[in-house]
Amino acid sequence: MAMKTLTAQQKQALTTMRERIGGISEEKKQHAKQLKAARKAIIQMLAEKPATAPDIAAALNMPSDEALWHLTGMRKYGQIIEAGEEGDYLLYALVVSDQAAATSH
Amino acid sequence: MTPTTEQSNAYRPDALVVGGGIAGMQSALDLADQGLKVMLVERGPSIGGHMIALAKVFPTLDCASCITAPKMSASSHHDNIKILVNTEVQGIQTLNGVHHVKLLKKATYVNFDKCIGCRLCEYACDAEYPDPLEEGLGAKRAIGVAFTNAIPQKAVLDPELCATCGTCARVCPTDAIEFDQQAETVIVQTDAVVVASGFALNSLNVKPQYNAARSKNIISALTMERLLAPHGPYGRVLRPSDGKIPSSVAFVQCAGSRDASIGVSYCSRVCCMYAIKQAMLLSGALPIADITIYYMDIRAFGKGYEQFYQNAKAMGVNFVRGKVARIDPVDDGDLSLHVETTEDPENFLQEHRHDLVVLAQGMLPDWDMSGTTPVQRSSDGFVATPMLTSPTLTTAQGIFVAGVAAGPKDIVDTIAEAGAAAMQVSQYLYQKRSANVSESQTAVLVG
Ligand SMILES: Cc1cc2nc3c(=O)[nH]c(=O)nc-3n(C[C@H](O)[C@H](O)[C@H](O)COP(=O)(O)OP(=O)(O)OC[C@H]3O[C@@H](n4cnc5c(N)ncnc54)[C@H](O)[C@@H]3O)c2cc1C
Ligand code: SF4
Ligand code: SF4
Ligand code: SF4
């Protein structure tokens, strides 16, 4: 994706918004950190083989509703797809990068 | 708090419609087709209201977005309708027969004239959170287009979620992102207003004995609609606690209505029918699952509704007459329902286990306009409609009401009422304007 450099005016506007919203809260920073770590770990796990939400929850020691939420976001933004069922659960698999653009919606 | 500036709007519509749900869109279209200029004001990022989020509709099982999307599109392309989204109506003051409507235009941080809805900003943004439009089950990013068939297809940035990294502005091909945008308060003058502000559902936790706070698998009926919708958060029906394909689903009726102890003594009128609809759709989506509706009595009052109910029974949906007294979370994310039934006098206290439970919450008015408008509400909180023979008239002259803003009702009745409100508005405007004309003619003749 082509990345432009921010103009001086855009940088100033960004600073203005940051000030108006009272800076970046500790909660937001923690959320960003945990999201990044969880997504990285899920991608590593799915790179090995497809997995269900409870598999991911157990391997990464997180509640299974959280694992499911991550998978939902990754599916929405085209990083993973459904890959069949295992018992009562769906398996999710990583999308290989040239497939990612095609499956995203 | 984002600072706001206050200004008067030069554009003066003949009528202003509060709320872009099915009622608001229908009233706006019916007024605009008569040549009147309409401003349609919606608080959210898209028009469509609750209906655009539904999977299918009773009693026809038509796809909800197939009916709603053309109305959204017609409203947005109509020369006589001006749509404002991300804008909240905050009050109405009537001076000499003219309504001064106070609008809060929220900052979107995106210049809508430049945005082409390409969503490159959304894909580049790393700040991801639960999506309230998907009842928290799906994910949204700090910037993005609200949903696939939203109208308008414009990105909105949420400052509450934004990490101010600037990436969205780096990838936006049209330089549409404006981080220094500010909210504005605008006053619009108009001769007539239609209140079509719809409903909200009461909290899942309104009855503590149902223990919704203790289980992710006790969900609202709107969540079930999203699970059943083709573009829903999981793309199919899974239970939220762990993604299990449910095998036993329960619907608990009157879970937030017909109960004076929670302040909602009225019947919400549509929950029996939407539970039957959802049960039928589930039978299709989960053919081997057992589906049970626990009800006190079934309110199937509309055209074709009784047949719809009988069809559901014939399809194998279980109907258990009785009251669910308590729901307890048990092992494996399942739920145990304690039911007092009238089905079997020998065994009227029963316990049933399910792996997903849907509560039929009560419908409440969305917009509390008391104190900020001349419109009075009735004791149930919905807009008062004092004239039995004109159900779209409110207590304030020149202000009309349509849809669930006036009380719980289904889509068919909402649309009929929206058309009636439009007719009342045009009649009112005609009378008001011809009275003004004859007054000025008299003044000219006398003067
Ligand atoms: C789970 C569920 C399933 C249903 N299924 C069916 C069905 O299958 N068939 C059927 O006939 N009916 C069904 N219904 C009922 C149906 O949803 C309603 O009849 C219909 O949506 C009412 O439309 P409305 O325009 O009155 O309200 P809404 O859809 O609530 O629209 C009101 C709009 O006004 C906006 N608004 C509110 N306050 C303000 C303000 N101050 N300023 C600006 N904007 C404001 C809101 O954001 C909203 O977009 C269902 C209801 C539920 C809860
Ligand atoms: S500035 Fe905010 S909205 Fe834009 S990419 Fe960064 S976090 Fe997302
Ligand atoms: S803000 Fe820019 S990048 Fe985002 S949808 Fe609009 S045009 Fe595309
Ligand atoms: S419509 Fe049915 S579920 Fe809803 S409050 Fe009335 S009787 Fe209860």
Cα B418 to Cα B116: distance, rounded to the nearest angstrom: 32
Residue nearest to atom 6 of ligand 2 (CA): B165
User: B352 with B228, same domain?
Assistant: yes
Domain boundary among B311, B334, B362: B362
Q: What is the ipTM of this complex?
A: 0.92
For chain B, how many structural domains are there in total? Answer: 2
User: B329 with B377, same domain?
Assistant: no
User: B310 with B325, same domain?
Assistant: yes
Q: Is B177 in the pocket of ligand 3 (CB under 6 A)?
A: yes
B67 within domain boundaries:
yes
Can you give the residue range of the structural domain that contains B351?
Answer: 204-362
- pTM listed for this prediction: 0.95
- Give the containing element (helix H, strand E) for B259: none
Answer yes or no: is pLDDT of B201 > 70: yes
A35 within domain boundaries:
no
Does B74 reach chain A within 8 Å, measured CB to CB? no
B326: domain CATH number is: 3.50.50.60
For chain A, how many structural domains are there in total? Answer: 1
- Average pLDDT of span A57-84: 97
Least Cα separation, residue A46 to chain B (angstroms): 17
B410 within domain boundaries:
yes
Residue A71 near residue B238, CB atoms below 8 Å = no
Question: Residue B236: which of B186, B194, B289, B199 has the closest Cα?
Answer: B289
A93 within domain boundaries:
yes
A60 within domain boundaries:
yes
Domain boundary among B335, B362, B389: B362
- Average pLDDT of span B318-330: 97
B424 within domain boundaries:
yes
Can you give the residue range of the structural domain that contains A104?
Answer: 49-105
Mean pLDDT in chain B?
Answer: 95
- Average pLDDT of span B247-255: 98
User: B292 with B414, same domain?
Assistant: no
**Residues contacting B104, CB < 8 A, separation 6+:** B4, B87, B88, B90, B183, B184, B185
A78: domain CATH number is: 1.10.10.10
Question: From the list A1, A65, A71, which residue is nearest B120 (CB)?
Answer: A1
User: B189 with B52, same domain?
Assistant: yes
A54 within domain boundaries:
yes
Phi, psi (rounded to 5 degrees) for B30: -65, -35
Residues in a beta bridge with B290: B248
pLDDT digits (tens, 9 = 90+) for B426-445: 999 999 999 877 666 666 55
Domain boundary among B362, B388, B406: B362
B66 within domain boundaries:
yes
pLDDT digits (tens, 9 = 90+) for A3-32: 999 999 999 999 999 999 999 999 999 999
pLDDT digits (tens, 9 = 90+) for B375-432: 999 999 999 999 999 999 999 999 999 999 999 999 999 999 999 999 999 999 999 9
Least Cα separation, residue A67 to chain B (angstroms): 8
Residue where the block lists tokens 């770590």: A37
A7 within domain boundaries:
no
Contact assignment for B163 to A32 by CB distance below 8 Å:
yes
Contact assignment for B234 to A72 by CB distance below 8 Å:
yes
